[in-house]
Amino acid sequence: MTFFALLTKELRLSLRRERTVWLIVAYILLLSFLGGLVVVESDVSSTNVGTISWSSTGIILYTVLLLVQLFLILFITPAFTSTAINGEKERQTFDLLLCSHLSPSTLIIGKLIAGLLNTLLLIAASIPLFSLVFFFGGVSPVETLEAFTIYFFTAITISMVGLFFSIIITRPAISTAITYMSVLLWLVLPLIITILVTVIGPHNGISTVGTTTGTPNTPPPPQWYLSGSPITGLLSTYSNSLWNPENYTLGAMSFAPWEFYLGLCIIVTGLLFLSSLILLQPATMYRSTRKSFTTMKKAETGATLLT
């Protein structure tokens, strides 16, 4: 009950703002413009109907839409949650929320879902555009579904990162900036690691002085860390993409790179959720204050005030 009350309030607040409507409009216009540009620039003519050219146009269109939408999600989603908790504190309504039946878990989930729904609204608004890809061919509906699953989990993870920083950082502007920096880091860190491993790793033939450890016939092991990036995670969802690595094996199980990415998202989200939960527990607040006072008194006077 408290959850729905919170969710209703959050949605009322967000959907009443004019910027929400304009954001959706701008989002769709941008996607449409870029999609249209791809179609116009590609080599599609009436004489090539049903040929490879059409499907390759479909794949290019799909790749462009996928990546543009991913970047939009990556840089729009933090705005919805990175001020969720410290915004309440700044608005001086946080104390009032604490004085209710609203549990920390409900508060986090409510805020998370409210932020997430805004992103899902954008994703849902883009579905008609994606359906155009099927007109050209080259991508199966299952692959599209996998890509949207990646979007969904990426949005959850970013929302949770934003929410976490809004709990630990008092000022909304700073928490927003740090969330964006984290997203950027998430985007580029796997790529940096890959470059570093490629340069100094055992398979490049230069990491070990005097000899080459990697034999030319041995393929390099799967670069699982590369799948940590949302870009590579997304590109691995369809067969005709720019990046199609082998599946990773863990014991008897085999994971597709995008499944590995989803697992990583779930773990990060779970850890951040638990950390946020602990930080918002009233009992934590009481315990930490008492401990600090005990330490303070002992350090100051050596008196056994509490014992």
Partner 1 sequence: MQLERKNRKKIDLKPPSSWPIQRDFIHLKRNKGALHMAQATSTIQTEAPPRPLIRIQHIYKRYQQVNALQDLNLAIPRGTIFGLIGPNGAGKTTLLRILAALLPPTLGEVWFEDQEVSHAPTRIQQKVGYMPDFFGVYPDLTAAEYLEFYAGIHRIPRKQRDTIVTDLLELVDLSSKRDALVETLSRGMKQRLCLARALVHDPEILLLDEPASGLDPRSRVELRELVRTLQTIGKTIIISSHILLELAEMCTDIAILQNGQLIIAGNVDSVTHQLGGGQQLEIRLLDTTLLPEALDLLQAQPEIQNVTHTTEANIQADFLGDNQALHNILSTLIKRNIPIISFAPRTGGGRLEKVFMHITEGNSES
Binding site for partner 1 (CB under 8 A): 1-2, 4-6, 8-9, 12-13, 16-17, 91-93, 95-102, 282-283, 285-286, 289-290, 293, 296, 305-306
Nearer Cβ to partner 1, position 203 or 297? 297
Report how far apart, in Å, the C-alpha atoms of 199 and of each of 53, 134, 186, 220, 230 are: 37, 40, 21, 13, 23
The two tokens of residue 280 are: 């918002």
Q: Which is nearer to partner 1, 274 or 305 (by Cβ)? A: 305
CA–CA gap between residue 85 and residue 209 (Å, rounded): 53
Contact 56, 138 (CB under 8 A): yes
CB of 85 to partner 1, least distance (A): 15
Longest CA span, the chain:
93
Task: Output 117 or 234, the one with its CB closest to partner 1.
Answer: 117
Task: Give the position of tokens 């670069």.
Answer: 223
Nearer to partner 1, 8 or 198 (CB): 8
Nearer to partner 1, 88 or 146 (CB): 88
Q: What minimum distance in Å lies between the beta carbon of 286 and partner 1?
A: 4
Give the shortest CB-307-to-partner 1 separation in angstroms.
Answer: 12
Q: Token pair 């929400």 is at which residue?
A: 20
Instruction: In angstroms, give the least distance from the CB of 118 to partner 1.
Output: 15
Of 87 and 222, which has the nearer Cβ to partner 1?
A: 87
In the complex, least distance from residue 96 CB atom to partner 1, rounded to whole angstroms: 5
Least distance between partner 1 and beta carbon 123 (Å): 24
